Amino acid sequence: MRVNFTVNGRPQEADDVWEGESLLYVLRERLGLPGSKNACEQGECGSCTVRLDGVPVCSCLVAAGQVEGREVVTVEGLADQARQRARGDARGTSLDEAKALAAGGQESPAGEGTGAFPHAALSPVQQAFIDAGAVQCGFCTPGLLVAADEMLERNPSPTDADIREALSGNLCRCTGYEKIMDAVRLAAARQGEGV
């Protein structure tokens, strides 16, 4: 079947999608967006977290057909979304930005989407993860970034308990989570200072 939906502000069409296929598979294997990671395929690990109509979900548990006509934001779209948020405008991605995003996505096999991206800035959460050393092997990072970014949008001054709760569906086997906590606190503090 064919599925039409919006990914990171850009209309996408996936063809020959198997009816039992997950959104995660479509993103990674059909749309060349490997940022969302495939680990457990049962909603346990959170490494495939994306936003579906704004809401964080495990993309491995969303059937591809269920996203018809809906909006998905992946880790590849975080920087762009953060910029839009900063500008306070709700419009979609411009054509130039979309092209840049696509170029970034293609050039970066790890899917971090910086590449030749003209607005190469990372989202504040991404930058905070780097600055706090919250990344080790990096496999869980995209899911954590999407989840943390959504929490900070909703709750600009989270307590430690809020952060733990918001990230409780994302497993990391390297860091012991402390650096991740540091990163989210840092992102929240910077957000508060308007940096």
Partner 1 sequence: MDFLRPASWEEALAAKAEHPTAVPIAGGTDVMVEINFDHRRPEYLLDLNRIGDLYEWEAVEGSVRLGASVPYARIMEHLRTELPGLALASHTVASPQIRNRGGVGGNLGTASPAGDAHPALLAAGAEVEAESVRGTRLIPIDDFYTGVKRNALAPDELIRAVRVHKADGPQQYSKVGTRNAMVIAVCAFGLALHPETRTVRTGIGSAAPTPVRARTAEDFLSAALDEGGWWDNGKVITPSVVKQFADLCAAACNPIDDVRGTAGYRRHAVGVLARRTLTWTWDSYRGTAQQKGMVA
- Beta carbon of residue 81, minimum distance to partner 1 (angstroms, whole number): 18
How many of the other CB atoms lie within 10 Å of CB of 54? 11
Q: Which is nearer to partner 1, 46 or 105 (CB)?
A: 46
Which 151-180 positions form the footprint of partner 1 (CB under 8 A)? 165-166, 168-171
How many CB atoms lie under 10 A from the CB of residue 15?
Answer: 8
The residue from 13, 32, 66, 119 that contacts partner 1 (CB under 8 A) is: 66
The CA-based angle 134-145-108, given to 5 degrees, is: 90
- Give the one residue of 8, 9, 14, 22 binding partner 1; rule: CB under 8 A: 22
Residues linked to residue 29 through DSSP beta bridges, in sequence order:
none
62 binds partner 1 (CB under 8 A): yes
Q: DSSP state, 8? A: T
Q: How far apart are CA 172 and CA 124, in angstroms?
A: 20
Is 100 a binding residue for partner 1 by CB under 8 A? The answer is no
- What the block records as the tokens of 167 is 């990230």
| Segment contacting partner 1 by CB under 8 A, of 27-35, 60-68, 82-90, 127-135 | 60-68
Residues that bind partner 1 (CB under 8 A): 1, 18-20, 22, 41-44, 46, 49, 55-58, 60-63, 65-66, 68, 147, 165-166, 168-171
